Structure 1
Amino acid sequence: MTEIVDALVIGAGPAGLMAAEALMAPGRRVLVAEAMPTPARKFLMAGKSGLNLTKDEPFEAFVQSFAPGSGVLPGAPGYFGGKERFGPAEVMAWARGLGIDLFTGSTGRVFPTGMKASPLLRAWLARLRGGGVELRTRWRWTGAGFRFETPQGMRDVAPRVAVLALGGASWPRLGSDGAWVPWLEAAGVRVMPLRPANMGFHVAWSPQMARHFGSPVKGVALHAGGLNSRGEWIIGAGGIEGGGVYAVSAPLRDGAAGHVDLAPDLDPPALAARFARPRGRLSLGNWLRRVLEDPVKVALILEWTRPLPLSAAPGGWAALAKALPLRHDGPMGLDRAISSAGGLAWDSVTADLELRAMPHVFAAGEMLDWEAPTGGYLLTACLGSGLHAGRAAAARLDARAPHGGGPGLKI
């Protein structure tokens, strides 16, 4: 038996839940289908170390942090276009409307006062339930029409409109596995290859680096492809990870050379003066520790400099420390990435995020081809795109005649 609903949302992450919120209205049947046992698993995982909701900065500056071609700049289709844009100020107002107190950190990042994601999610789900939205978990879309594998067997749904919010392909164990790609491609939707974003990089360390595994790298600057980062990062057994690396990961992934400034607060003459200190009988390592005052920085300069410039003048050592080559063996995979790049090509959706090949079917979140750094940008874009798609789907419902069957996916 086919179940008839007004609106179907597939995926109960931030984008899907926001689309459901935009769709809910008195008397309207809105169904959210989620493949995992519980909703918003990646959202909850992100909130374990402090839920970074957005970045408190002017809207015009905020959108400039998205990669070119991401469809988020003013005038482009997607998340923030038109009069009803959904940027940092709107995210903060929405969260406060759920009863969540917020604070802004020293870097402009916005967090719930309690830091965790679970109180916000509980309040959000309560609002949706109160508005008549029905959430069904362990409902996995099969890609054949609107057919789902469920604990009760196969079930078919006939919606008047649908919103796909299936995520990208990062952290697949949390639900975003990219299984939708061949289904939509078979239906005539152009999909850009999914690639890791905001990820670490493999490094084949020498045995001498083992003592530094787990050590944070602080007080340095990373540079790649015109991007700069002063954030902290970690030396791990398999490579380098952390916010500082993620901020420059896109150009590094795409082949740009990376450099590390081991002393970003010193200009070259001041740093050269430090390297002019006599070495005497000190070993090279001990001498460098006196100059750089950090054993981790010393380890990096010894690891990533070959051959060592043993006879270099102070100015040469300073130049090396200001632009140490960042040597890596490629990006870590999608299973370890914070997010994914690629997805539904912008020419495959309308300005309302409706799939051109599938009338009455909209898309939101990481399914779309966009890329942004961590720091609140990712979550804000997912929320904004879900709201945008949900509003467009709701407008389509209001404009259509009473139910005459679902749009149907010809897959």
Structure 2
Amino acid sequence: MTDTEPKGRDADGPAMVGGPAVIGGGPAGLAAAEVLARAGHAVTLYDRMPSVGRKFLIAGRGGLNLTHSEPLPAFLARYQPESGPLAEAIAAFAPTDLRTWCHDLGQSTFVGSSGRVFPASFKASPLLRAWLRRLDGLGVRIRTRHRFTGWSASGGPVFEAPEGRVETTHRPVLLALGGASWPRLGSDGAWVSLFERDGIAVAPLKPANVGFTVAWSPVFAERFAGTPLKRIALSLAGTRVRGEAVISADGIEGGAIYALAHRIRAATERGAARLHLDLRPDLDEAALTRALSDPKPGLSLANRLRKGAGLTPVGICLLREAAHPLPVAAEALAALIKAVPLQLLEPRGLDRAISTAGGVRFCELDADYMLARRPGTFVAGEMLDWEAPTGGYLLQGAFASGRAAAAGMLAWMERAAAGP
């Protein structure tokens, strides 16, 4: 842990045994704790790590992408599934609401050229510090180094803590334990076996927003590992996205790949995914054909591609990876540049994924995000069976589902207080 990493408030003394609890100190859990505390409840938040928000901080290392500014219908279309409880939660706490929430914490935001929304500081730590100060002011008790291990005979959550086994009688309880990506930051998916043992249906956790392997030639892999592919487009089964990617020694990764990740993963499960890479999406095939026609005498094919088509060395070598030998006719070259075939073999493992797909199936929850098999227990965040690409969609989904589940907890407590 660095000196700049916010620790959160770790309450002294024995753990509280009653009242509402949130288990998991990521964005979904922190958002839920804030909603509950604002409603006047004494909330205890547990996390198994020494401090909360660790994955949130990692997400901000390259500039914290909070959400996206595109219209809500297009925004919701980025999610799998596109409709249902999560879409309703995001509609209730939309990207504009998330920006307002940030501004209320004293953290202004701006829209980048890509439409993505960032805090003005471009960092996660100032926002997390301000958020933890707010939670502290609302009386939220944060207890770290408490790993959720299941439920006691009385139905309360049980923890493994520094002092040993801790049984509590918290009720209601919200679980926001994350998926299985970045396990060293706290979300290791260990909860899956607990749920399955309880008879709760969990879709298998799979890597999302992850790179895929490609059988590059040794020469290409050695020369271009780490090289970016800028201003490209990828197509798969009729779906086309523009963006950027990065060549790795064993494959390809990056935003354009992540935007198609769930489709690519499904295709690789059937064998392999055959994509087409457009190296010049800003030019149509006819324009490329004209640019490549009538080369100067003595001009090499590589220089013809560089000068006529504006390709970089990595782009030229991608063509060579796809076609042996390269065509020389302008029409054939242009067609290849606009649709370089690329075969992706399999996704990298969960430990290298930015996020995970799969999780608690929504059919196990009621409209308030409560488990039907465990009344009084709610679930939010990446534990649920949804996925989205990077670009602000992941954090928006976590914030929105955490707040929606907290609203469900409040409704449950009101019904319990009213009695039969």
TM-score (norm 1): 0.91
Aligned AA for 1:88? P
Aligned AA for 1:257? R
Matched, 1:129 2:146: no
For residue 248 of structure 1, the aligned residue among 248, 260, 273 is: 260
For residue 281 of structure 2, the aligned residue among 240, 264, 281 is: 264
- The aligned residue for residue 91 of structure 1 is 98
1:40-80 deviation line (CA, Å, top 9, x unaligned): 1111000011111111132222212212x35xx3xx22353
Aligned AA for 1:295? P
Report how far residue 92 of structure 1 moved.
0.7
Distance 2:318 2:296 in 1: 19
SS of residue matched to 1:143:
strand
Aligned AA for 1:78? L
Return 46-55 or 262-271, whichever deviates more.
262-271
1:137-188 deviation line (CA, Å, top 9, x unaligned): 1101112431111111111111120000011111111111111111111112
Distance 1:263 1:40, change over 3 A: same
- Contact between 1:79 and 1:86, CA under 8 Å: does it hold in 2? no
For residue 106 of structure 1, the aligned residue among 101, 113, 132 is: 113
Report how far residue 283 of structure 1 moved.
4.5
Aligned AA for 2:100? A
Structure 2: which 5+ residue stretches go unaligned?
1-13, 268-272
Distance 1:148 1:226 in 2: 48
Aligned AA for 2:374? M
Distance 2:176 2:263 in 1: 27
- The aligned residue for residue 175 of structure 2 is 164
**Higher relative helix content:** 2
Distance 1:297 1:103 in 2: 33
- The aligned residue for residue 408 of structure 1 is none
Where in structure 2 are the equivalents of 1:369-388 lying within 5 Å?
369-388=385-404
Structure 1: which 5+ residue stretches go unaligned?
404-411
- The aligned residue for residue 85 of structure 2 is 77
SS of residue matched to 1:217:
strand
Report how far residue 87 of structure 1 moved.
0.9
- The aligned residue for residue 301 of structure 1 is 319
- Contact between 2:320 and 2:326, CA under 8 Å: does it hold in 1? no
- The aligned residue for residue 205 of structure 2 is 194
- The aligned residue for residue 270 of structure 2 is none
Where in structure 2 are the equivalents of 1:2-401 lying within 5 Å?
3-25=16-38, 28-67=41-80, 69-70=81-82, 73=83, 76-78=84-86, 80-81=88-89, 85-145=92-152, 146-209=157-220, 210-255=222-267, 256-278=273-295, 280-293=297-310, 294-305=312-323, 307-310=324-327, 313-401=329-417
- Contact between 1:2 and 1:156, CA under 8 Å: does it hold in 2? no
1:346-376 deviation line (CA, Å, top 9, x unaligned): 1111111111111110000011111111111
SS of residue matched to 2:65:
coil
1:210-248 deviation line (CA, Å, top 9, x unaligned): 222221111321112343222121112222121122112
Report how far residue 302 of structure 1 moved.
0.9
Aligned AA for 1:217? L
Distance 1:129 1:157 in 2: 22
Aligned AA for 2:322? W
Distance 1:190 1:43 in 2: 27
Return 265-274 or 115-124, whichever deviates more.
265-274
Distance 2:418 2:306 in 1: 75
Distance 2:414 2:170 in 1: 14
Distance 2:92 2:329 in 1: 55
SS of residue matched to 1:231:
strand
Distance 1:327 1:165 in 2: 36
SS of residue matched to 2:18:
strand
Return 281-290 or 125-134, whichever deviates more.
281-290
1:64-121 deviation line (CA, Å, top 9, x unaligned): 2212x35xx3xx2235349x70111110111111111111111211111000011111
Return 281-290 or 92-101, whichever deviates more.
281-290
SS of residue matched to 1:232:
strand
| Identity score, percent | 48
1:304-351 deviation line (CA, Å, top 9, x unaligned): 22x3344x5321221111111112221111111111111111111111
- Contact between 2:178 and 2:187, CA under 8 Å: does it hold in 1? yes
- Contact between 1:79 and 1:388, CA under 8 Å: does it hold in 2? no
For the aligned residues, what is the CA RMSD? 2.1
Distance 1:2 1:137 in 2: 11
TM-score (norm 2): 0.89
Report how far residue 396 of structure 1 moved.
1.3
Return 37-46 or 201-210, whichever deviates more.
201-210
Report how far residue 281 of structure 1 moved.
4.3
Distance 1:192 1:163 in 2: 19
> Which of the pair has the greater relative contact order for Cα pairs under 8 Å at 6+ separation?
1
- Contact between 1:348 and 1:355, CA under 8 Å: does it hold in 2? yes
- The aligned residue for residue 409 of structure 1 is none
SS of residue matched to 2:171:
strand
- Contact between 1:292 and 1:298, CA under 8 Å: does it hold in 2? no
SS of residue matched to 2:165:
strand
